[in-house]
Amino acid sequence: MRRGRATLVGLLQAGAIVTLVCSLLAFVPADHFAVQLFTHFRLQYLGAALLLLIVLAALRDRNFALASLVAVLANAGVVVPWYNGGAQAAVGETSIKVVLANLLSTNAEHERLLELVDSEQPDVLFLLEVSPAWEAALERLDSRYPHRVIEAREGNFGIALLSRLPLASSGVIVSEPFSFPTIVATLDASRTKLGVVVTHPMIPLGTNNYEARNAQLRGLADLIRGMEGPRLLAGDLNASMWDRNYRMFENRTRLRNARRGHGILPTWPTFMPIAMIPIDHVLVSAEIGVESVHAGPAIGSDHLPLVVTVAL
């Protein structure tokens, strides 16, 4: 019995050390894909450290409880601010609801997206991983979203914009280095024009893919810096808000994440809820307010959709 208790305490102590080490590694600014992977799980580190702190304190294990307390404070410092501030509403009478959804190219549950559209009634849909099969399924939305740009592709990097609002301009550009499509358009939103960019960089696993994702983010930053007026970017950036390259992207574009004040809202992977992280983003310029943000229901993809209402 004593051996069993000792083993349990040892596991708790090991958990405290692992959580602390992972938490501290997430602060290391090294520009390496393996190091940056530690940054995405801040919410998980916080939850694990808090639980371990409570248990180890109850066991009066002072040293390891202290290690867990350090991990709690370190992660709370970067997680809690995302829940403060509330809506960032701008002065203006025009509200636009957008849905960002990574559909998963192999997902055949097309009806679930249509149900989401019926429920949320968005003005604009930003869709990723649009395959030829998905392009055919989206024809059922033609009458409701007559203004559209679709670049369907086999694989995971097709993309689409479907809108009730007229498009003053639209086009698809090639994002280097892998020639993935990025949509650049201008929505005619009542009394103002809204510039939008829809994109999907590479998954940053391995040095080459990590550098490719970062190169695409740098190219997008240059593009956005050259745009005038209100701007909105939507995409699966394959980076959480704590990734150093994501933070550099925000700083260069002077966009802000719509999540600010609304919470972390993890979106991927749905097949492993305890490990879900926020990699699908809507970012907006200073002229745009954010009235509401929430994650949508499962649509058969490995991502949850993100539903955002902005104000102009």
Task: Output the domain CATH number for residue 303.
Answer: 3.60.10.10
Q: Do 125 and 242 reside in the same domain of the chain?
A: yes
Range of the domain at 127: 95-311
| pTM of the entire predicted model | 0.94
Q: Do 277 and 156 reside in the same domain of the chain?
A: yes
Q: Higher pLDDT residue, 6 or 115?
A: 115
Q: Do 54 and 100 reside in the same domain of the chain?
A: no
Q: Do 100 and 72 reside in the same domain of the chain?
A: no
Distance, CA of 188 to CA of 192 (rounded, Å):
6
- Assess if residue 50 is contained within a domain: yes
Distance, CA of 220 to CA of 31 (rounded, Å):
19
Q: Do 248 and 269 reside in the same domain of the chain?
A: yes
Q: Do 101 and 62 reside in the same domain of the chain?
A: no
Q: What count of other Cβ atoms lies within 10 Å of the Cβ of residue 293?
A: 21
Where is the domain boundary, 44, 63, 83? 83
**β 306-311/95-102 pair status:** antiparallel
Q: What is the mean pLDDT of the chain?
A: 95
What's the pLDDT at 7? Answer: 87
Least confident of 90-94, 215-219, 228-232: 90-94
What's the pLDDT at 167? Answer: 97
Distance, CA of 231 to CA of 286 (rounded, Å):
9
Decide: 44 and 96 in contact? Cβ < 8 Å. Answer: no
Count of domains observed in the chain: 2
Whose structure tokens read 């959709």?
305
Q: Do 125 and 230 reside in the same domain of the chain?
A: yes
Residues 6 or more apart whose CB falls under 8 angstroms from that of 88 comprise 256, 260, 261, 289, 290
Q: Residues 166-188: what's their mean pLDDT?
A: 96
What's the pLDDT at 174? Answer: 95
DSSP structure class, residue 268: B
User: pLDDT, tens digit, for every residue of 45-74?
Assistant: 999 999 999 999 999 999 999 999 999 999
- Assess if residue 189 is contained within a domain: yes
Q: Do 103 and 187 reside in the same domain of the chain?
A: yes
- Assess if residue 88 is contained within a domain: no
**What confidence tier does 1 reach under pLDDT thresholds 50, 70, 90?**
very low
Least confident of 72-76, 81-85, 145-149, 160-164: 81-85
Q: Do 184 and 206 reside in the same domain of the chain?
A: yes
- Assess if residue 90 is contained within a domain: no
Distance, CA of 197 to CA of 183 (rounded, Å):
6
Distances, alpha carbon 309 to alpha carbons 104, 125, 184, 249, in Å: 23, 12, 20, 22
What's the pLDDT at 246? Answer: 98
Up-side HSE of residue 282: CA atoms within 13 Å toward CB?
33
Q: For residue 294, what are its two tokens?
A: 């929430």
| Percentage, residues of the chain above pLDDT 70 | 96
- Of 280, 278, 221, 228, the closest CA to residue 251 belongs to 221
DSSP structure class, residue 26: T
- Assess if residue 103 is contained within a domain: yes
- Assess if residue 89 is contained within a domain: no
Distance, CA of 252 to CA of 258 (rounded, Å):
17
Q: For residue 39, what are its two tokens?
A: 């940054």
DSSP structure class, residue 229: S
